[in-house]
Amino acid sequence: MLTRRIIPCLDVRDGQVVKGVRFRDHVVMGGIEELALRYRDAGADELVFYDITASPEGRSADVAWVERLARHLDIPFCVAGGIRSVEQARRTLAAGADKISINSPALERPELIDELSTEFGVQCIVVGVDSSGPEGDWRVHQYTGDPSRSRELARPTLDWVAEAQRRGAGEIVLNCMGSDGVRRGYDIAQLKAVRAICRVPLIASGGAGAPEHFRDVFVEADVDGALAASVFHAGTISVPDLKQYLRAEGIAIRP
């Protein structure tokens, strides 16, 4: 049986892992490889590296650290941040990333999803969606990495998720902004609504604060993976303890 994935997300800035609350006030946490291998050893199923400086500054992720990671890491990893062309995607994938995740550039030019999936296959094209709003009326947000440019679009989240799949997204990461960083649990209602129209793997992001939140999002929203950052980085939840708990709750989890 396919297991549900536990995915720590690491924010990268200038070649180091940083953390911030609500996208502000970043503090350096350590080296990329060191933290990546620590999560690998702890049993993380996959890692996401988000170059938080890349997209707002209009440049794509520096590939030197991607190469170093690919050499050391023996679990899959995804690189997000500022990829806006087939050539930039090719560099990141050639450096050893298993997947690339695109967000704001796909909103600027949705054809980018078609181009990337045609060139590299749908399996390595992840579309990240930042979303918030009152229940049932969720809207997509763009440039959320930069507080001065971050904005809500008129585009309904469900429409965008459907379009992204039509264009060749192989996986959707839904970041529910209202719950992000506040640790009160994933936005189950929104994730359920997206799940209902999402035929490709769906990853929940934003809001994890306790092991029960992971159980709830797997059981109630039927997501394929759950992404979290601060609870893992702060040590509030350890990956091995979380996986043991979820297995005891009857959820398919890789030991």
Partner 1 sequence: MSVREVVVVDSGVANLGSVMAALARLDAPARLSTDPAVLRAAQRVILPGVGAAAPAMARLRERGLDAVIPTLTCPVLGICLGMQLLFEHTDEAGVDCLGVVPGRLRRFEEARCGRVPHMGWNRLEVLRDDPLVRGFGAQAYAYFVHSYHAEVGPHTLATCDYGGPFAAVVQHRNFFGAQFHPERSAAVGATLIRNFLGP
Catalytic residues: 11, 130
Q: Could you tell me the smallest distance in angstroms from the CB atom of residue 199 to partner 1? A: 6
* Backbone torsions φ then ψ of 175, nearest 5 degrees: -100, 110
Which residues is 48 bridged to in the sheet? 9, 78
Q: Which residues contact 252 (CB under 8 A, 6 or more apart)?
A: 1, 2, 3, 4
- At closest approach, how far in Å is the CB of 173 from partner 1? 13
Stretch touching partner 1 by CB under 8 A, among 93-101, 127-135, 142-150, 178-186: 93-101
Within 125-164, the residues that bind partner 1 by CB under 8 A are none
Asked whether position 251 contacts partner 1 by CB under 8 A, the answer is: no
> For partner 1, how many residues bind (rule: CB under 8 A)?
33
- Phi, psi of 133, rounded to the nearest 5 degrees: 140, 170
Stretch that binds partner 1, among 50-58, 101-109, 121-129, 212-220 (CB under 8 A): 121-129
Should residue 62 be labelled a site residue for partner 1 when binding is judged by CB under 8 A?
Answer: no
Answer yes or no: are the C-beta atoms of 160 and 190 closer than 8 Å: no
Give the one residue of 123, 166, 182, 197 binding partner 1; rule: CB under 8 A.
Answer: 123
What does 192-244 look like in DSSP terms, one character per residue? HHHHHH--S-EEEES---SHHHHHHHHHHH--SEEEESHHHHTTSS-HHHHHH
Applying the rule CB under 8 A, the residues between 166 and 205 that interact with partner 1 are 170-171, 199-201
Angle, CA of 13, 179 and 154, to the nearest 5°: 85
Q: Does 5 bind partner 1 (CB under 8 A)?
A: yes
Q: Per CB under 8 A, does 67 bind partner 1? A: yes
Instruction: Pick the closest to residue 249 from 1, 32, 4 (CA basis).
Output: 4
Residues near partner 1 (CB under 8 A) are 1-5, 40, 45, 67, 70-72, 74-76, 93-96, 98, 120-124, 170-171, 199-201, 224-225, 254-255
